[in-house]
Amino acid sequence: MSKMLGLFVGLLLLGLAASVKFDELFQPGWAMDHFIHEGELLKLKLDNYSGAGFGSKSKYMFGKVAIQLKLVEGDSAGTVTAFYMSSDGPTHNEFDFEFLGNTSGEPYSVQTNVYVNGVGNREQRLNLWFDPTKDFHTYSIFWNQRQVVFEVDGTPIRVHTNLEHKGIPFPKDQAMGVYSSIWNADDWATQGGRVKTDWSHAPFFVTYKDFQIDACECPVPVTSTASANKCNSSEDKKYWWDEPTLSELNLHQSHQLMWVRANHMVYDYCTDTARFPVTPAECVHHRHN
């Protein structure tokens, strides 16, 4: 009994938020008339009047957020569906999934980006190895003091490593909200903006289910110091994301990431010498970017 009580108290100390129901974790951000609830499913609609988006009710620091998506079917050129975490303000931190629509028959691509202290320009793009419009797939972001990992169905597609010892800033001092939206971005999203949204195919729908947040919830407003103290492990409390085994990818995950990069990556800012004549500092030191 005492062990069970200790476990219960330990779970209370973690301050985690975990759920699969939209209304418990999120609230509409804009265009509420473009939200469609069908049982456990949520659909967001994009038409030539508006897109739609939602955000988490709380902010979080460290842990894992995941969402299951079925992306826009058919000719989705010009549309973008985003799933991301972000803090507030001009020096915000941000982790992005952006799913870029395509013309029918072309592969669906996903672009990831990392902002640190308000600076982004760290885009990577890959073609998914499945059709994300035919079934639900899980997209997740894992974040601790050592790394940020983007995953698709449990397979890591990108790692952003803490290289503070090399003088490179790492996002670990700002609590983030969790967001998703669909909007028209035909000025850049498909073939660099050459293919525009065909509104004769509207409305466009993205479908969601199984919203999960297993992370350290931070009251709003709260200082970065208070968040760090609350969400870092100590002698009194242990968080699962601070386990030593999660400080870097294991061997299997490293092989998965190498497979993704070798077979599916189509753009990496680290190798774009036109944009970056001088290789970005983190690219020099990262084993996995």
Closest CA to 63 of 217, 245, 229: 217
Q: Tell me, what's the pLDDT at 193?
A: 63
Distances in Å between the Cα of 54 and the Cα atoms of 26, 71, 169, 265 are: 7, 16, 29, 29
**Residue 282 is a catalytic residue:** no
Mean pLDDT over 214-234 rounds to 77
Q: What mean pLDDT is reported for the chain?
A: 88
**Higher-confidence position of 166 and 285:** 166
Residue 8 has pLDDT above 90, yes or no: no
Q: Phi/psi class of residue 192: alpha, beta or left (left: φ > 0; alpha: ψ in -120 to 50)?
A: left
Q: Which residues pair with 238 in a beta bridge?
A: none
What's the pLDDT tens digit per position in 76-86? Answer: 888 999 999 99
Catalytic hit among 94, 151, 217, 282: 94
For the entire predicted model, the pTM comes to 0.90
Residue 9 has pLDDT above 60, yes or no: no
| pLDDT reading at 222 higher than 90 | no
Angle at 54 between CA 141 and CA 175, to 5 degrees: 50
- pLDDT, position 7: 45
C-alpha gyration radius of the chain: 19
Look-up of token digits 């293919």: 195
Active site residue 94: yes
Mean pLDDT on 176-195: 80
End-to-end CA distance of the chain: 46
Q: Which of 24, 73, 98, 106 is catalytic?
A: 98
Burial of 75 (0-12, 13-18, 19+ CB in 10 A): buried
DSSP assigned state of 49: S
> In which band, very low, low, confident or very high, does the pLDDT at 196 lie, cut at 50, 70 and 90?
confident
- Asked if the model's pLDDT at residue 13 lies above 50, the reply is no
Q: In this model, does residue 224 exceed pLDDT 70?
A: no
What the chain holds in terms of domains, given with CATH numbers, is 22-285 (2.60.120.200)
What integer pLDDT is reported at residue 12 of this predicted model? 39
pLDDT at 4 over 60: no
pLDDT in tens, 265-279: 999 999 999 999 999
Q: What is the DSSP string of 186-232?
A: TTTTTGGGTSPP-GGGPPEEEEEEEEEEEEEEE-SS--HHHHHHHHS
Query: What residues have CB less than 8 Å from 194, skipping those under 6 apart?
Result: none
pLDDT tens digits for 29-68? Answer: 999 999 999 988 999 999 999 999 999 999 999 999 999 9
Q: What is the pLDDT of residue 227?
A: 66
Q: According to the model, what pLDDT value does residue 73 have?
A: 92
Mean pLDDT of 224-231: 73
